[in-house]
A = this chain, B = another copy of it.
Amino acid sequence: MERRFIEYISSFTTLSKEEEELMLESYPIKQFRKGDCVLEEGTITQDTFLILEGCIRRHCTVDGVDKTTGFFTEGEAVAEFESLSFNKPTTHSYSCVEDTVAVVVNSEKEKAFYKRFPRFEELARMETEKMLGKNQEQLSNFITKSPEERYKHLLTNKPELLQRVPQHQIASYLGVTPESLSRIRKRISKK
C-alpha cells in the first residue's frame, strides 16, 4: 500500500527520494475492517484520513436515528474540519462500509512536514480548495434538487457507490425513507 500512497501523491507532483521517505515516515497507513469506526462522534481529532482502498461513511445520530451525511472512496480525504480547525468535538462519526486502507495524516506531523518541505503547503491549500468546491456543489444539490434528482445525480456521478453501499444508507443520505428510494428506483427503471 506504500506504493499506492506514493503513486497517489505523485499524481500531483514529482516527489524527491527525501520527500518520499519523510512522507512514509510521517503518515502511517492503517487497515480497518468493515464496520470499524475510524472516528467517533464527540471526540476531538487532529487526524485526516486519505483513503487508498475502501469506503467510509460519515454519519450522526439525530433523535436516536442514524443519519448518513456523506460517503468517501479511493483518493478522497476524510476529515472533520470543524474539529480540526476549532479544536471542537466532532459532530459526526466515520465508519467503514468496506474493509478500508487509509493514510492517517496527523496535523502536527503535517505542519512539521510542510516546515521541512514548504512547497507542499501550497499543494495542500489547493487540495483543500478542491474539497471545498465539491462540498459547495453537494450543498447546492441538496438545496436545489428533489430526492429523485439527487438520486439521478448520484447515478451519473458515482454509480459504483450504489453497488457498494447498503440501500438504507443511500436512502438516508438522500434524505428519504428506504421505501421512497425503492419507488424512485422503480420509476427511473421504467423510463
Whether A134 contacts B82 by the Cβ 8 Å rule is yes
Cβ contacts A to B, 6 pairs, < 8 Å: A69-B139, A81-B132, A82-B134, A111-B122, A132-B132, A139-B139
Q: Interface size for chain A: under 10, 10 to 19, 20 to 34, or 35 or more residues?
A: 35 or more
In this assembly, does A144 line the interface, its C-beta being within 8 Å of a C-beta of chain B? yes
In this assembly, does A130 line the interface, its C-beta being within 8 Å of a C-beta of chain B? yes
Residue in A58, A60, A82, A140 whose Cβ sees the most chain B Cβ within 10 Å: A140
* Residues of chain B within 8 A of A137, CB atoms compared: 82, 91
Given contacts A132-B132, A132-B135, A135-B135, contact A142 B144 (CB under 8 A): no
* Chain A residues near B (Cβ < 8 Å): 58, 60, 62, 67-70, 80-86, 91-92, 111, 114, 118, 121-122, 124-126, 128-140, 142-145, 173, 175
